């Protein structure tokens, strides 16, 4: 009986623990607005209880483009970069990708991070904050949905899309229509939190075998 009570208490503690969300800043271009958008998003997300946010800026992750062959050994530079970022992805219960749209797609640095990892994405939800132009980065998001599906991740339906000139970015990188954009953050995070907790509970009781 004591063993059962201990296991139940541990399960309850895990269920009540804050949802760990890795916020990935996908752009590394000079003059980028990604960090400002991420700062705004983190500020808006702070109003949502039960979240623990970890911002991963890819401009600070020096992952090389050349990957080792199957069964090969990563370079010392890759090992050093992975030692910082991989545990943070593995520890996350959910992800939010902050991305612009480049040529109807998303930045190469973001794809590189995704491709360097595999199991870290499994059975976890992904939300999106996109920005730029009339499309608001939506074409980048649609392509990312296909990629994360291949990696056994679940992308939430609603995203935060900052369209110019309506809810596009002001000079400080914050949305022009803050009320509408913060409403979108609340909706997206509601879905992300539901999936994040449901999948975290599922991975705890029955590890994902994909």
- For 88-98, how does the pLDDT look when each residue is reduced to its tens digit (9 = 90+)? 999 999 999 99
- The answer to whether residue 2 sits within a structural domain is no
Coil, helix or strand at residue 33: coil
Give the total residue count for the chain.
210
Contact 122, 152 (CB under 8 A): yes
Q: Which of 169 and 28 is assigned the larger pLDDT?
A: 28
Report DSSP letters for 157-187, one per residue: S--EEE-TTTT-B-TTSSBSSHHHHHHHHHH
Coil, helix or strand at residue 195: helix
Domain that holds residue 167: 19-64+81-205
Q: For 52-77, give the secondary structure using H, E and C.
A: EEEEEEHHHCCCCCCCCCCCCCCCHH
Alpha helices in the chain (DSSP H): 2-16, 34-45, 76-91, 108-115, 138-150, 178-205
Count CA atoms closer than 13 A to 25's CA, side-chain side: 23
- The answer to whether residue 210 sits within a structural domain is no
- The answer to whether residue 73 sits within a structural domain is no
Give the DSSP H/E element, type plus range, for residue 99: strand 94-100
- The answer to whether residue 12 sits within a structural domain is no
CATH of the domain at 35: 3.40.50.360
Coil, helix or strand at residue 123: coil
Counting the structural domains of the chain, the total is 1
- The answer to whether residue 138 sits within a structural domain is yes
Give 50-75 pLDDT, tens digit per residue.
Answer: 999 999 999 999 999 999 988 888 89
Phi, psi values for residue 126, rounded to 5°: -130, 130
Least confident piece of the model among 25-39, 107-121, 137-151, 171-185? 171-185
Q: What token pair was written down for 43?
A: 């500020």
- The answer to whether residue 184 sits within a structural domain is yes
- The answer to whether residue 6 sits within a structural domain is no
- The answer to whether residue 75 sits within a structural domain is no
pTM of full prediction above 0.85: yes
């Amino acid at each position: 009986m004591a063993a059962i009570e201990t296991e139940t208490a541990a399960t309850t503690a895990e269920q009540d623990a804050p949802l760990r969300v890795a916020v990935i800043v996908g752009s590394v271009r000079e003059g980028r607005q990604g960090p400002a958008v991420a700062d705004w998003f983190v500020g808006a997300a702070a109003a949502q209880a039960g979240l623990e946010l970890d911002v991963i800026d890819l401009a600070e992750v020096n992952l090389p483009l050349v990957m080792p062959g199957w069964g090969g050994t990563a370079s010392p530079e890759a090992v050093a970069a992975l030692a910082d970022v991989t545990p943070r992805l593995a520890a996350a219960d959910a992800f939010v990708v902050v991305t612009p749209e480049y040529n109807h797609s998303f930045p190469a640095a973001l794809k590189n991070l995704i491709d360097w990892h595999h199991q870290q994405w499994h059975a976890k939800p992904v939300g999106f904050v996109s920005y730029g132009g009339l499309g608001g980065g939506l074409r980048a998001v649609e392509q990312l949905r296909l990629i994360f599906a291949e990696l056994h991740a679940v992308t939430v339906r609603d995203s935060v899309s900052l369209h110019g000139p309506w809810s596009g970015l002001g000079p400080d990188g914050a949305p022009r229509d803050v009320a509408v954009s913060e409403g979108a953050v609340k909706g997206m995070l509601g879905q992300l939190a539901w999936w994040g907790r449901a999948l975290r509970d599922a991975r705890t009781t029955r590890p994902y075998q994909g």
